[in-house]
Amino acid sequence: MSQTTTIPQAVYTRYHACYNNDTYRAFSLGLANALGLDERVVRAEMHDEHHNRIMNQLTDAAMELVGAEFYAGAGKRLGNALGALDEHTPLLVKHAINHLNNFVTGDEPWVARQKIAHLATLSLAEHARRALVQTLDHAALLPGWRGTAPYYWLRACSLLVQAAEIVLRDDPSESYLVEKFSTCLQSLTMGTGEVVRYGNPSLAIQRFYEQLTATQDGRHPDVSK
């Protein structure tokens, strides 16, 4: 655990009763691999600050699940940390879920499961956003409208994911959320415009583009056509 505070003995007892060293060790090994470390860090034969910090966050998240109010929000912090581990994120999320599921107890188990789901959604959303940003680097090199349209649409997707993350992180900035929506709409319109101008689109695509541009211009879109 990352900090020391007064926690009821019943909470500690519940934590130790639920603890599973096999799932804990599986997460630790996966994290070591993600950080380019060997098993010595798992056996405590060497110290790595990054590994130690995330392992503490896993323990904090487990403490949150068994009722330690001091660790409220620990699952979100763990989700943020796992989302930054790129291609290793999905497997580490799986290991984290396997371990944290041991701590789903009490009269309202669905509350704990919702917190675990929140953690997983947040970390995998960030993983998806990073993957989309990497995809943009390649899509930018594609020629013609068959390259530019996917580029703008993929950019719109990355902005929508970022908007979702703002909500998942309980970010109070509505202006930041509106900014992401606005830029997403612009990218969606620009990509569709490429198809309309150069791609011999169907009537349905042309209608959709007209609705997008009307929204951008502040006009009421005519959906009756």
Roughly how many angstroms between the first and final C-alpha of the chain, as a whole number?
Answer: 61
Q: What is the mean pLDDT of residues 56-60?
A: 97
Element (H, E) at 93: helix 89-100
Domain ranges of the chain: 9-124, 140-216
* Gap between the Cα atoms of 183 and 159, Å rounded: 7
Give the per-residue pLDDT at 5.
65
Distance CA 76, CA 61 (A): 8
Q: What percent of the chain has pLDDT over 70?
A: 94
- Distance, in Å, from the CA atom of 17 to the CA atom of 12, rounded to the nearest integer, reads 9
Q: What pLDDT, in 10s, does the model give residues 215-225?
A: 777 665 555 55
Helix (H, G, I), strand (E, B) or coil at 40: coil
Q: What is the pLDDT of residues 64-101, one digit of tens each?
A: 999 999 999 999 999 999 999 999 999 999 999 999 99
Q: Round the average pLDDT of the chain to a whole number and report it.
A: 91
CA distance linking residue 32 with residue 45, whole number of Å: 13
pLDDT confidence of 2, banded at 50, 70, 90? very low
Mean pLDDT across 55-69: 95
Give the pLDDT mean for 124-132.
Answer: 97
Distance from C-alpha of 145 to C-alpha of 198, rounded to nearest angstrom: 6
Asked if pLDDT for residue 104 goes beyond 60, the answer is: yes
The answer to whether residue 201 scores a pLDDT higher than 50 is yes
Residue 171 banded pLDDT, cuts 50, 70, 90: confident
Q: Phi/psi at 78 (nearest 5 deg)?
A: -65, -40
pLDDT of residue 1: 47
